[in-house]
Amino acid sequence: MTAPRVVFAGTPAFALASLKRLVDAGVVPVAVYTQPDRPAGRGKQLTPSPVKVFAEACGIDVFQPPSLRDPESIRELRALEPALMIVAAYGLLLPQEVLDIPTRGCVNVHASLLPRWRGAAPIQAAILAGDEQTGISLMSMTAGLDCGPVYATATLAIGPQDNAGEVHDRLADLGGDLLVAQLPSLLAGELAAVPQDDAEASYAGKIKTGHARLDWSEPAEMLARKVRAYNPVPGAWFVHNNERIKCWQASAVGSDAEAAPGQVLNSDRLIIACGEGALALEQLQRPGKRSISAEQFKTQLDWSGQTLATPSGP
């Protein structure tokens, strides 16, 4: 039997899980597409993506076009004669001309239960919204943003203490498993895709550092979810004594105190008044320092009688 001509497109660790599962299952892509090397680390040295590192170690040809819209990139892809193009967190838009090249189309491994949380940051959006479950959708790609029909899904529970990094890792593995399980049917054209209900769609836009700032006027439950959603990237933060402090772990706690948002209610346990309830800070990090527990942190800065600034404050 002739091996299927599969092309894989992906860049970060989330995509790597699917690529590894393909290779482990004996489906070695004829080529891998990934984003160009980017500066990373303190030295800002050009660094290959996790997908590139693995693909090259497997002897797979790697292509890194800055865009898939130029004629040369399209000619290269067409010359590969792919039956199927598998996309997972690639980071580049695929124009219709590219979507039309594989005989079985392009399938996307997306980290949500579509149509909920289309877009760039579905894991963070699910945690911020308090969703109790998320999952993987295998979607037939169209020119729109994550709006193509869905071949198959797999669900994953979000625990009350799960952060985005933990959910990401479990979803990455789940995506690889679902992809390999459904791949024979996809290649045979036996899997019917179900159209999404656009009326039920929600969107998860790109994350900016400002989104991760803790606004003490918000309810404590919301801030606790924000801490989980932005762990590990970009990290929830607030300002104290002109320092931007990262908060990696926190819990909402009840409070009957009449206090302004941002007021330190308990300097021993680092409990901060919020618009509703209070937030107990549990794992913190000063600039250039390592992450430490609140018990250690409270000895480094004076918290008694303090009121932390809100984004609209000083």
Looking up residue 225, the CATH number of its domain turns out to be 3.10.25.10
What spatial distance separates the first Cα and last Cα of the chain, rounded to whole Å?
69
Co-location of 155 and 178 in the same domain:
yes
CA distance 270 to 203: 34
pTM score: 0.94
My answer on whether 47 and 164 are in the same domain is yes
Q: Is the pLDDT of residue 250 over 50?
A: yes
The answer to whether residue 53 is domain-embedded is: yes
On whether both 156 and 215 belong to a single domain, the answer is no
Q: Are residues 76 and 223 in the same domain?
A: no
Residue given tokens 């040369």 in the structure block: 72
Same domain assignment for residues 171 and 282 = no
Model confidence at 313: pLDDT above 60: no
Looking at residue 217, its pLDDT comes to 95
Residues 77, 220, single domain; the answer is no
Is the model more confident about 257 or about 151? 151
When pLDDT is cut at 50, 70 and 90, the band that residue 210 belongs to is very high
Residues 177, 72 within the same domain: yes
Q: Spell out the SS3 assignment of the chain.
A: CCCCCEEEEECCHHHHHHHHHHHHCCCCCCEEECCCCEEECCCCEEECCHHHHHHHHCCCCEECCCCCCCHHHHHHHHHCCCCEEEEECCCCCCCHHHHCCCCCCEEEEECCCCCCCEECCHHHHHHHCCCCEEEEEEEECCCCCCCCCEEEEEEEECCCCCCHHHHHHHHHHHHHHHHHHHHHHHHHCCCCCECCCHHHCCEECCCCHHHHECCCCCEHHHHHHHHHHCCCCCCEEEEECCEEEEEEEEEEECCCCCCCCCEEEECCCCEEECCECEEEEEEEECCCCCCEEHHHHCCCCCCCCCECCCCCCC
For 2-43, how does the pLDDT look when each residue is reduced to its tens digit (9 = 90+)?
678 999 999 999 999 999 999 999 999 999 999 999 988 777
Q: What is the CATH number of the domain that holds 83?
A: 3.40.50.170
How many domains does one find in the chain? 2
* CA–CA gap between residue 43 and residue 263 (Å, rounded): 39
- Please check whether residues 39 and 188 belong to one and the same domain: yes
Q: What integer pLDDT is reported at residue 312 of this predicted model?
A: 64
Residue 310 lies in a domain: no
The pLDDT confidence band at residue 219, using thresholds 50, 70 and 90, is very high
Task: Note whether residue 118 is domain-resident.
Answer: yes
Q: Confidence class of residue 1 from pLDDT cuts 50, 70 and 90?
A: very low
Residues 67 and 140 in one domain: yes
Question: Is there a single domain that holds both residue 266 and residue 190?
Answer: no
- Domain extent at residue 244: 209-297
Domain-located, residue 314 = no
